[in-house]
Amino acid sequence: MKRLLLTGNGAAAWGARLAKAEYIPAFPITPQTEIIENLAAWIDSSEMPGRLVTLESEHSMMTAAGGAAAAGVRVFSATSSQGLLYAMEMLYTVAGWRVPFVLVNVSRALSAPITLEPDHNDVFAARDSGFIQIHCSTCQEVVDAVLLAYRLAEHPDIRLPVMVNLDGFYLSFTREPVTLPDQQGAAEFVGGFDPLGMAFRAGAPLSQAVAVLGGSQYSYFRYQQHLASLQALDVYDDLEREFFGRFGRSHPAVEAYRTDEAEMVFLMTGSFATKAGNAVDALRESGIRAGLVRPRLLRPFPVRRLRQVLRGVRGIAVIDQNLSVGKGGILYTELASALYGQENAPVLLSFIGGLGGRDISGEEFIGIARVTIDAIRSGSVPEPRLLYTADELRHIRKLQAIASVQQENHCRNHE
């Protein structure tokens, strides 16, 4: 094992290299491009065997990934944001083909308006596609998750594509210390790819079980994807234990940080969760029993695990770095459905923060905890809140003034 400074993108590329990915269909997009650049450089210098092909779009890239996996080749690919959405049709399709491969998504908020920085609406748009989803919060987790992802994807009870998500900028371009598994240890852990009889060849046409027409058949095959995905809950636990035994790092399906005796917890995904951990330490020092719960697996959704770690917690602040327009936070909705009807269910508060890469400050985490404690004590749950400050609004009003937007009769946020 080697410890070095790596960006999240560098860690993702190392994951593919250590897993001995053989075929990489690629299309560049900020902030993902560095992954492809790394892999291209290694293949060019023969440090990594395999073939990298640039396609004309993410739609074709995803088709090539699915086709190659069906041919029995180990496939890696990566995209982000608009690219993921451009491939959306094929995400559902290749999941339906039940072909195993790993796709890294570098989260970046969706246009319009435009930003290069992250939120999770891109990866949540693929929530129902059939891909398994692992969400990372450090660069270390990225390389480890790619290795775990191949085992999950290629498991004979699952055989679904897996998406590994990391945040643009906050991880993709940020170097931090990463311990790289050695090539031999990684290869032993991941093992060879057994395609279980899949042998798609252009010269030898064959069809897989999904080539059927009609609702009854469709229901069977689609629901089988669902059941396979649910299998991944237990399989992940086993793999994660095996990974810990071999490499000494633990990545449970649901991370529970200082949840012992916790009165309130933050519940969120992604890189900002490390900042929540910082706030938890500060709150504990000041006598507030706070904790952090972070689902790594988003699909399948680890309902049983979440119920376990949230038992006894009286209030949960769900921080959604995404927005379902016309409804609210997606994670909040998911969690509510997991806890509805449970005995002594905690109060659930919804906070929307970090849209388009907007930062979440330490003071805001403390503020969220205070609002949550108040709700626990009073039993009255406040409306969902967008994390947005008076300073930010003042800035927007200035921009609107520059654009000569007539505000007098239309704005309610007067100073």
Partner 1 sequence: MYRIRFHGRGGQGMKTAGRILGTSFFLEGFDVQDAPRYGAERRGAPIFAYVRASRSVIQERGVIRRPSLVVVADDTLAGLPEADVLGGQSADTVMAILSDVPEGTWRSRLNLDSPIVCIPRPDAIKGYAGQAMAGVCCAAVAARLCGSIPKSTLARAVREELGFLAPSVLERSLSEASRMFDSLAPYEAVVRDRPDREFSCDNPPGWVELFHDAAAVAAPVIFGGLTSRLLKTGMWRTFRPVIDTARCRRCWWLCSSFCPDSAIHVGDDGIPAIDYEHCKGCLVCVARCPVHAISAVPESRGVRQENGEEAV
Q: In the set 59, 127, 175, 246, which binds partner 1 (CB under 8 A)?
A: 175
Helix axes 139-154, 215-247, angle to 10 degrees: 130
Q: How far is the CB of 225 from partner 1 (least distance, A)?
A: 35
Stretch that binds partner 1, among 46-54, 153-161, 203-211, 274-282 (CB under 8 A): 274-282
Whole-number Å distance between alpha carbons of 339 and 310: 9
Say if CB 360 and CB 351 are below 8 A apart.
no
Whole-number Å distance between alpha carbons of 33 and 338: 36
Say if CB 256 and CB 278 are below 8 A apart.
no
Q: How far is the CB of 293 from partner 1 (least distance, A)?
A: 16
Q: How far is the CB of 48 from partner 1 (least distance, A)?
A: 18
Decide: is 206 part of the binding site for partner 1 (CB under 8 A): no
**Residues between 358 and 377 with contacts to partner 1, criterion CB under 8 A:** 359, 361-364, 366-367
Max CA pair span of the chain: 71
Phi then psi dihedrals of residue 99, to 5 deg: -105, 135
Taking the least distance from each CB to partner 1, the nearer of 250 and 361 is 361
Decide: is 114 part of the binding site for partner 1 (CB under 8 A): no
The alpha-carbon radius of gyration of the chain (Å, integer) is 22
Say if CB 175 and CB 5 are below 8 A apart.
yes
Decide: is 266 part of the binding site for partner 1 (CB under 8 A): no
Total residues in contact with partner 1, by rule CB under 8 A: 49
Decide: is 277 part of the binding site for partner 1 (CB under 8 A): yes
Question: What residues pair up with 291 in beta bridges, in sequence order?
Answer: 265
Taking the least distance from each CB to partner 1, the nearer of 49 and 362 is 362
Q: In the set 40, 71, 116, 336, which binds partner 1 (CB under 8 A)?
A: 116
Helix axes 183-190, 139-154, angle to 10 degrees: 40
Site string for partner 1, 133-172 (x = CB under 8 A): ------------------------------------xx--
Q: In the set 38, 271, 321, 322, which binds partner 1 (CB under 8 A)?
A: 271
Name the DSSP letter for residue 355: G
Cα angle 82-84-90, degrees, rounded to a multiple of 5: 130
Decide: is 345 part of the binding site for partner 1 (CB under 8 A): no
Stretch that binds partner 1, among 101-109, 157-165, 184-192, 277-285 (CB under 8 A): 277-285
Closest CA to 15 of 150, 120, 158: 150
Decide: is 250 part of the binding site for partner 1 (CB under 8 A): no
Say if CB 142 and CB 8 are below 8 A apart.
yes
Whole-number Å distance between alpha carbons of 52 and 186: 21
| Contacting residues toward partner 1, per CB under 8 A | 5, 7, 116, 169-170, 173-177, 271-272, 274-275, 277-279, 281-283, 286, 359, 361-364, 366-367, 385-393, 400, 402-407, 409-413
